[in-house]
């Protein structure tokens, strides 16, 4: 082989090597760019998903019910009923309820606004509570239903509640609170009666304004006549 041919072959080999090198460099640059774009997209998508999840976790649960209509129905039976006082009682009792669950004690603190049977049932169940409700907070409470059955009247409240369970994210929930007229039966169907302040006789008629024994006016504030007899998580 002549010297010229050898030089041409060497030159060709160098050119091919350069071309291959350039191609490999371009491919490497393209692959690197793809990885960066893919990482950016993944990071963006994951970031959006995380942000959406966190936003959902912070958004109070939606409550249902026609409070305006329910208040009209309640007012027909109990003109003196004050929904705002009742709302404060329901909210504060529910907040206290989670405090008791976390402490595994103190159920008797609910006696002022809960039926005796509910307080007893709660106290008996505290030993079986196995979790804690971190940062429990009641956002709001609304009247979702009003039920009347004979001498029993019950207002169903829905409450938006948030808390954090151990090892989990903040979560939003809905709790139902049954707020029953004090003469209504409690969970074991035992009657709880008001007492006439004048003669001491039991007031046994739902919504009575006058004592049937002595004729004295029956003073019945919302705190005295309504009691919570159930708290249940619905979602």
Whether residues 38 and 140 fall in one domain: no
Structure confidence at residue 131 (pLDDT): 94
* Mean pLDDT calculated for residue range 29-35: 86
Domain finish residue from 58, 76, 96: 58
- Decide: pTM greater than 0.85: no
pLDDT tens-digit series, residues 143-169: 999 998 766 789 999 999 999 999 999
Query: Does some domain include residue 201?
Result: no
Q: Which residues contact 170 (CB under 8 A, 6 or more apart)?
A: 57, 58, 135, 162, 163, 164
Query: Does some domain include residue 84?
Result: yes
Query: Does some domain include residue 215?
Result: no
Whether 187 and 121 have beta carbons less than 8 Å apart is answered as: yes
* Mean pLDDT calculated for residue range 193-208: 70
pLDDT tens-digit series, residues 65-120: 789 999 999 999 888 899 999 999 999 999 999 999 999 999 999 999 999 999 99
Whether residues 51 and 85 fall in one domain: no
Task: Please state the three-class secondary structure of the chain as a single string.
Answer: CCHHHHHHHHHHHHHHHHHHHHHHHHHHHHHHHHHHHHHHHHHHHHHHHHHHHHHHHHCCCCCCCCHHHHHHHHHHHCCCCCHHHHHHHHHHHHHHHHHHHHHCCCHHHHCCCECHHHHHHHHHHHHHCCCCCEEEEEEEEEEEEEEEECCEEEEEEEEEEEEECCCCCEEEEEEEEEEEECCCCCCCCCCCCEECCCCCCEECCCCCCECCCCCCECCCCHHHHEEEEEEEECC
Beta bridge partners of 210: 217
* Mean pLDDT calculated for residue range 4-11: 74
Query: Does some domain include residue 157?
Result: yes
Task: Give the highest mean pLDDT range of 27-41, 143-157, 203-217.
Answer: 143-157
Structure confidence at residue 137 (pLDDT): 96
Domain finish residue from 29, 58, 87: 58
The number of domains in the chain is: 2
Q: Enter the tokens of residue 32.
A: 């690197």
Query: Does some domain include residue 198?
Result: no
Q: Can you give the C-alpha Rg of the chain in angstroms? A: 35
Whether 197 and 216 have beta carbons less than 8 Å apart is answered as: yes
Whether residues 54 and 73 fall in one domain: no
Structure confidence at residue 194 (pLDDT): 65
* Mean pLDDT calculated for residue range 211-218: 81
Whether residues 86 and 176 fall in one domain: yes
Band of pLDDT at residue 185, cut at 50, 70 and 90? very low
Is pLDDT of 186 > 50?
no
Query: Does some domain include residue 206?
Result: no
Whether residues 28 and 74 fall in one domain: no
Structure confidence at residue 148 (pLDDT): 86
Whether residues 82 and 100 fall in one domain: yes
Whether residues 95 and 50 fall in one domain: no
CATH of the domain at 127: 3.10.450
Whether residues 108 and 154 fall in one domain: yes
Whether residues 134 and 169 fall in one domain: yes
Whether residues 125 and 158 fall in one domain: yes
Structure confidence at residue 124 (pLDDT): 97
* Mean pLDDT calculated for residue range 207-212: 72
Query: Does some domain include residue 54?
Result: yes
Task: Give the highest mean pLDDT range of 41-50, 96-105, 174-183, 218-227.
Answer: 96-105
Whether residues 17 and 42 fall in one domain: yes
- If one compares 40 and 208, the residue with the highest pLDDT of the two is 40
Query: Does some domain include residue 171?
Result: yes
Whether residues 52 and 29 fall in one domain: yes
User: Residue 138: which domain range?
Assistant: 67-181+227-233
Is pLDDT of 229 > 60?
yes
Is pLDDT of 39 > 60?
yes
């Amino acid at each position: 082989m002549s010297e010229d041919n050898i030089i041409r072959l060497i030159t060709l080999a160098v050119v091919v090597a350069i071309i291959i090198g350039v191609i490999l460099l371009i491919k490497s640059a393209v692959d690197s760019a793809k990885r960066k774009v893919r990482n950016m997209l993944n990071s963006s998508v994951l970031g959006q998903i995380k942000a959406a999840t966190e936003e959902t976790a912070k958004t109070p649960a939606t409550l249902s019910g026609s409070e305006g209509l329910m208040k009209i129905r309640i007012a027909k039976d109990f003109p003196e009923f004050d929904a705002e006082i009742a709302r404060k009682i329901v909210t504060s009792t529910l907040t206290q309820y989670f405090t008791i669950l976390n402490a595994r004690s103190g159920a008797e603190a609910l006696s002022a606004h809960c039926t005796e049977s509910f307080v007893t049932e709660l106290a008996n169940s505290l030993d079986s509570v196995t979790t804690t409700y971190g940062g429990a907070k009641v956002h709001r409470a609304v009247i979702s239903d009003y039920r009347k059955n004979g001498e029993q009247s019950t207002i169903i409240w829905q409450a938006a509640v948030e808390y954090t369970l151990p090892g989990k994210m903040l979560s939003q929930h809905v709790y139902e609170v049954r707020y029953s007229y004090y003469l209504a039966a409690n969970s074991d169907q035992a009657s709880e009666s008001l007492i006439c302040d004048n003669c001491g006789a039991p007031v046994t008629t739902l919504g009575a304004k006058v004592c049937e024994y002595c004729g004295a006016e029956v003073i019945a504030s919302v705190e005295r006549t309504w009691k919570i007899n159930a708290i249940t998580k619905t979602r």
